Amino acid sequence: MTQQEIQEGKTFAIVAYITFIGLIVAIIKNLNQKNPFTAFHVRQMIGLVLLLIFSNLTEKYVNSWLGTMLWFGTFILWVYGIITAVRGEAKLIPFFGKLFQEWFQNIGK
């Protein structure tokens, strides 16, 4: 990834982390531009949304405290992701980032 690609994709990489609607906007915008930096962060955020859904389901159907802890962990990972996007870095989210990149590899290509 070049510095130019990072600069061009930085805005929508950040937008991807701002609510579910921001994620959809970043995906749609990146369909035409095919920016690798934006695509990287879109894949990270899709994974975080899935983690959030999993934590909510865990909280409701398995154990309230466990679900809350998973939600808190997801929130921390979200903060990490948005900070790396703002800094112009393509760092994987701890624990799950590599999996998210593999699972959603076709997004942004």
**d(Cα 14, Cα 48) in Å, to the nearest integer?**
14
Query: What is the predicted pLDDT for the residue at 57?
Result: 96
Query: What is the predicted pLDDT for the residue at 32?
Result: 86
Query: What is the predicted pLDDT for the residue at 78?
Result: 97
Q: Is the dihedral of CA 30, 34, 35, 38 positive or negative?
A: positive
CB 42 within 8 A of CB 26: yes
Percent of the chain at pLDDT above 90? 89
Q: Is the dihedral of CA 83, 39, 97, 89 positive or negative?
A: negative
**d(Cα 3, Cα 54) in Å, to the nearest integer?**
35
Averaged over 49-73, what is the pLDDT?
A: 94
Indicate the pTM of the whole model.
0.91
